[in-house]
């Protein structure tokens, strides 16, 4: 056995250890998305129960939007209770920075009384809907709890 082959396993372990250490540093220093101060269960998620993605709804007539939530509870605005929040319906907009208060306007509807459904009317065209949970101060949780964005058509 020559010197080179005798040190090969030790050299391989050193290279593996260095690569593992470099990967760990990368994970620790990777940028983390900002979120609000209120914790949420890691497995919590929101969803839109109705309407369905791709559905066409009649114009000039209000329709129901039903909010779903799993592994978390609904509480009115101002009520600070662990693992709870209230719904916000985002219409035709993208998610915002997750460490800021959710605005209240025609594209960001607040349901601070703890509502789990609403009636809305939209003009003809293609629209997107998405739910975002907010804490007692309308700030997204950490991690943020939101639904998939769905697309609906009003004709």
**Enclosing H/E stretch for 87:** strand 84-91
The domain ranges of the chain are 1-30, 45-154
State the pLDDT at residue 52: 98
Could you read off the pLDDT of 14-38 as tens digits, one per residue? 444 444 444 433 333 333 457 899 9
**Dihedral class, residue 114 (left if φ above 0, else alpha if ψ from -120 to 50, else beta):** left
Q: pLDDT digit string (tens) for 81-121?
A: 999 999 999 999 999 999 999 999 999 999 999 999 999 99
Say which range, 15-29, 53-67, 105-119, 140-154, has the weakest mean pLDDT. Answer: 15-29
pLDDT for the residue 35? 85
Question: Which contiguous run of DSSP H or E holds residue 70?
Answer: strand 63-70
Q: Is the domain 45-154 a CATH 2.60.40.10 member?
A: yes
152, 121 contact by CB (below 8 A) = no
What is the rounded average pLDDT for all residues in the chain? 85
């Amino acid at each position: 056995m020559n010197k080179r082959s005798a040190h090969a396993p030790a050299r391989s372990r050193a290279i593996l250890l260095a690569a593992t250490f470099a990967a760990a540093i990368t994970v620790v220093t990777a940028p983390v998305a900002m979120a609000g101060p209120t914790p949420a269960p890691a497995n919590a998620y929101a969803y839109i129960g109705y309407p369905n993605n791709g559905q066409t709804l009649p114009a000039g007539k209000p329709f129901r939007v039903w909010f779903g939530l799993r592994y978390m509870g609904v509480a009115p605005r101002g009520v600070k209770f662990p693992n709870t929040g209230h719904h916000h319906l985002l219409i035709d907009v993208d998610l915002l920075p997750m460490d800021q208060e959710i605005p209240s306007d025609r594209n960001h509807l607040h349901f601070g009384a703890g509502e789990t459904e609403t009636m809305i009317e939209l003009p003809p065209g293609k629209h997107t809907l998405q739910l975002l949970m907010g804490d007692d101060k309308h700030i997204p949780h950490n991690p943020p709890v939101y639904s998939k964005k769905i697309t609906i058509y009003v004709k």
